[in-house]
């Protein structure tokens, strides 16, 4: 508690605060980058508002780390520009970009104590020895590591090392904070705690932040906006709730959260026949026409978007239940070897033993559709 | 605000804390036996040498004609060779690791060549390319020794650079505002200090013991002096050889002890002669104690 109190006091009285008020705007314009025949970035454009935390989310190889490294100055772009506060940064070397970076692997300098690691950037900025040590100590205190200030990286746990790396990046009062999967090497408990701490510090300091991750839970819980990338391009960028509830494409819909694919048949006038009923298609007529007149499609529905009732001779059979706390995810085998997942309150799902016959239906709200994918066993 | 510190407090038990005890327990009797046999194998010739030379010969070594100049030349050559080797090999090895990792295997092949190429070929090659002011001076040998030391120096430095995440360290340093020379001086060199010490030890040992090149070039270095006077002053040259051996040992132990102490403090690589091995749990501790 003593540490907490000291930390909160340091933050409250403004002993250490970001020197840049108002934050920094970042604009990536039409960035492209190829490695041999592999096109890592394919015309990526992205606007980040001052003080905003944007997460880039996507599968391995989608180009998110390449984008971050181009912003940091560790990679060059084939085409495009990185504009920070109106200035193109691509010709500027990494050392002069004023961007703090936290890496996936623990990047503390092994030959320096935690305090010296945090003070390193300040030393590069010619801050007097006394001042930089004071500031580094304040920063370590902010993340609860004052007692470990004199310890070397190998004496710290992974979570502690990443907190030191975080404040080391923030110590230079960076124009932009870049986070390259900083939590992926940590265990679940520490990851959760550090996630909250990064977000709290970022909001308190108002540092514009670009965060790269493949963990959708991290992206959705931390970011103001999440950009989903695929094949070097942004598929969609939106607030986390919008991304989940209003995915723009089938890829986003399936990448973010759990999504059921249910075989359906296109009807006229932007509707689709699915699970014995007819429901409207998101995007209406234009969406159905975009599929090129193919009648066989899949309806994409979240587990919480399906309803289910226990009936004799229903259209599905319960095969498995996964307890998730307040809800239980029930797997139901439908005709045609299609399995769907349906979330039910745990107190209701307790009665749904494997083998129970159920009737699965879809509310009449618009659904997203995608070209039919063969059923995998 | 709940903090990570509250959760982690009291749960920090870095793996290194329990290592020494475990290491002591895992040193079985058969290892002591091998150590003893190896010790006897090396010590018997030394004892024989001591018996042959006699203690009086050790005092005579320093007054024997040519001893001072031969030792002085060998030490000067050792210093020049070491500096040249480090100045050439450290940036080269760092550059290969950072920018050209694909040629690391080729580098291993190239740097082993001085061992397989005959000495006469090396010295003729050096004579062809050496700057004029060095021709006719014994310092020409330093250029030859730099080539001879390359296999050992490269391997030491290569192992040292592999023991930590060089690319990430350099990028972290750059992102914090450090330019290249600063990054090399403050981040890279301190973390390969033990590897540089290993390279230094090997280079010094090589120069102090090298006979063929110096003899071919007709310069009287310490090993050449020993051979020249062996015929008519056997006990004295034997005493000189033993002295050289002891001095090299002391130097070696000093470097290993000093380097090892620094490395242990930082949890980094330990000093070793041919490789610098980092304990797996020290440099890349990815697991959490919690």
Is the reported ipTM for this assembly greater than 0.90? no
pLDDT above 70 as % of chain A: 90
Does residue B36 sit within a domain? Answer: no
* Dihedral sign (CA B279, B282, B288, B290): positive
Query: What Å distances lie between residue B74 and A14, A194, A283, B197, B218, CA to CA?
Result: 63, 58, 85, 19, 14
pLDDT above 70 as % of chain B: 78
Q: Cα–Cα–Cα angle for A124, A175, A104, nearest 5°?
A: 80
pLDDT of residue A137: 95
Interval A172-179 mean pLDDT: 94
Alpha-carbon span A328 to A317, nearest angstrom: 16
| Three-class secondary structure of residue B233 per DSSP | coil
Residues of B with CB under 8 A from a CB of A: 1-8, 11-12, 14, 16, 164-165, 168-169, 171-179, 182, 186-187, 190-191, 193, 265-268, 282-290
Closest chain A residue to the Cα of B11, Cα to Cα: A157
Q: Structural domains in chain A?
A: 2-245 (3.40.50.300), 265-300+364-377 (no CATH), 307-361 (2.40.50)
Pick the residue with more confidence: B266 or A208?
A: A208
pLDDT of residue B59: 79
Query: What Å distances lie between residue A254 and A42, A246, A274, CA to CA?
Result: 22, 12, 19
Q: Cα–Cα–Cα angle for A286, A289, A295, nearest 5°?
A: 135
Does residue B156 sit within a domain? Answer: yes
* Dihedral sign (CA A96, A100, A104, A108): positive
Min mean pLDDT across A44-48, B190-194, B276-280 is at: B276-280
Interval A270-277 mean pLDDT: 87
pLDDT of residue A181: 92
Interval A164-190 mean pLDDT: 91
pLDDT of residue B129: 85
Report H helices in chain A: 2-12, 64-72, 114-124, 129-142, 158-171, 188-205, 216-222, 240-245, 250-255, 284-290, 346-349
Interval B165-192 mean pLDDT: 94
| Three-class secondary structure of residue A214 per DSSP | coil
Interval A222-234 mean pLDDT: 94
Q: Give the pLDDT confidence of A336-346 residue by residue, as tens digits.
A: 789 999 999 99
Helix (H) or strand (E) run with residue B127 in it: helix B119-129
Interval B161-170 mean pLDDT: 92
- CB–CB of B8 and A160 under 8 A? yes
Question: Nearest-CA distance from A175 to chain B in Å?
Answer: 12
Does residue B254 sit within a domain? Answer: yes
Does residue B57 sit within a domain? Answer: yes
Q: Give the pLDDT confidence of B238-270 residue by residue, as tens digits.
A: 888 888 888 778 877 877 777 666 666 665 544
**For chain B, what is the domain count?**
1
pLDDT of residue B283: 34
Does residue B42 sit within a domain? Answer: no
Q: Are strands A316-323 and A368-371 parallel, antiparallel or unpaired?
A: unpaired
| Token reading at A79 | 């085409």
Question: Nearest-CA distance from B111 to chain A in Å?
Answer: 29
Strands of the sheet with A260-266, listed across from one edge:
A277-280, A271-274, A260-266, A296-301, A368-371
Does residue B286 sit within a domain? Answer: no
Alpha-carbon span A204 to A195, nearest angstrom: 14
Closest chain B residue to the Cα of A189, Cα to Cα: B290
Does residue B167 sit within a domain? Answer: yes
Alpha-carbon span B92 to B100, nearest angstrom: 10
pLDDT of residue B234: 76
Q: How confident is the model at residue B24 (pLDDT cuts 50, 70, 90)?
A: low
- CB–CB of A159 and B174 under 8 A? no
Does residue B37 sit within a domain? Answer: no
pLDDT of residue B267: 56
For the domain that residue B91 is a member of, what is the CATH number? 1.10.3720.10
Interval A228-243 mean pLDDT: 94
Q: Give the pLDDT confidence of B97-153 residue by residue, as tens digits.
A: 999 999 988 998 999 998 888 888 888 888 888 888 888 888 889 999 999 999 999
- CB–CB of A124 and B14 under 8 A? no
Residue A290 pLDDT more than 60? Answer: yes
Strands of the sheet with A307-310, listed across from one edge:
A307-310, A357-361, A316-323, A327-334, A338-345
Q: How confident is the model at residue A161 (pLDDT cuts 50, 70, 90)?
A: very high
Q: Say if CB A191 and CB A222 are below 8 A apart.
A: no
Q: Which domain holds residue B147?
A: 49-278
Residue B26 pLDDT more than 90? Answer: no
């Amino acid at each position: 508690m003593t540490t907490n109190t000291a930390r909160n006091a340091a933050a409250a009285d403004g002993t250490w605060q970001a020197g840049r008020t108002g934050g920094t705007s970042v604009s990536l314009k039409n960035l492209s980058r190829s490695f041999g025949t592999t096109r890592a970035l394919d015309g990526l454009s992205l606007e980040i508002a001052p003080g905003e935390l944007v997460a880039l989310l996507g599968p391995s190889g989608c180009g998110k780390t390449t984008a971050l490294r181009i912003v940091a100055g560790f990679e060059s772009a084939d085409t495009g520009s990185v504009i920070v506060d109106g200035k193109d940064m691509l010709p500027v070397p990494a050392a002069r970009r004023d961007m703090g970076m936290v890496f996936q692997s623990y990047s503390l300098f092994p030959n320096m104590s935690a305090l010296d690691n945090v003070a390193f950037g300040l030393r590069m900025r010619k801050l007097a020895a006394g001042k930089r040590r004071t500031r580094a100590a304040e920063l370590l205190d902010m993340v609860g590591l004052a007692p470990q200030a004199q310890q070397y990286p190998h004496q710290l746990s992974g979570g502690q090392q990443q907190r030191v790396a975080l404040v080391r990046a923030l110590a230079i009062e960076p124009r932009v904070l870049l986070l390259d999967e900083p939590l992926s090497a940590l265990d679940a408990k520490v990851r959760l705690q550090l996630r909250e701490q990064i977000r709290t510090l970022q909001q308190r300091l108002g540092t514009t932040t670009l965060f790269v991750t493949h963990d959708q839970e991290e992206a959705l819980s931390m970011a103001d906006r999440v950009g989903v990338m695929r094949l070097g391009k942004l598929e969609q960028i939106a607030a986390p709730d919008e991304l989940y509830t209003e995915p723009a494409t089938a890829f986003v819909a399936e990448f973010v959260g759990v999504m059921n694919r249910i075989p359906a048949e296109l009807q006229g006038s932007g509707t689709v026949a699915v699970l014995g009923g007819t429901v409207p298609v998101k995007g209406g007529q234009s969406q159905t026409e975009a599929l090129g007149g193919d009648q066989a499609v899949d309806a994409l529905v979240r587990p919480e978007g399906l309803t289910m009732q226990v009936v004799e001779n229903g259209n599905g059979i319960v095969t498995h239940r996964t307890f998730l706390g307040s809800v239980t995810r029930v797997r139901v085998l439908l005709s045609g070897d299609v399995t769907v997942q349906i979330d039910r309150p745990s107190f209701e799902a307790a009665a749904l033993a494997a083998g129970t016959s159920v009737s699965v239906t879809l509310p009449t709200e618009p659904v997203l559709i995608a070209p039919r994918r063969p059923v995998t066993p | 605000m709940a903090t990570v510190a509250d959760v982690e407090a009291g749960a920090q038990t870095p793996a290194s804390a329990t290592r020494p005890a475990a290491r002591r327990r895992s040193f079985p009797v058969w290892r002591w036996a091998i150590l003893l046999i190896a010790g006897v194998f090396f010590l018997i010739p030394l004892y024989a040498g001591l018996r042959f030379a006699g203690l009086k010969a050790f005092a005579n070594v320093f007054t024997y004609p040519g001893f001072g100049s031969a030792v002085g030349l060998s030490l000067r050559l050792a210093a020049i060779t070491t500096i040249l080797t480090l100045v050439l090999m450290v940036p080269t090895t760092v550059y290969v690791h950072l920018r050209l990792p694909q040629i690391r295997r080729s580098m291993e092949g190239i740097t082993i060549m001085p061992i397989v190429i005959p000495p006469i070929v090396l010295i003729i090659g050096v004579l062809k390319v050496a700057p004029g002011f060095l021709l006719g001076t014994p310092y020409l040998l330093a250029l030859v020794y730099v080539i001879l030391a390359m296999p050992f120096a490269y391997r030491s430095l290569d192992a040292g650079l592999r023991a930590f995440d060089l690319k990430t360290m350099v990028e972290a340093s750059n992102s914090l505002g450090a330019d290249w020379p600063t990054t090399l001086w403050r981040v890279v060199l301190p973390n390969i200090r033990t590897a540089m010490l290993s390279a230094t030890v090997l280079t010094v040992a090589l120069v102090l013991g090298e006979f063929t090149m110096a003899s071919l070039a007709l310069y009287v270095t310490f090993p050449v002096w020993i051979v020249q006077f062996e015929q008519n002053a056997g006990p004295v040259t034997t005493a000189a050889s033993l002295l050289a051996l002891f001095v090299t040992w002391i130097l070696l132990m000093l470097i290993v002890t000093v380097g090892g102490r620094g490395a242990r403090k930082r949890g980094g690589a330990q000093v070793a002669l041919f490789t610098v091995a980092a304990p797996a749990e020290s440099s890349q501790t990815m697991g959490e104690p919690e």
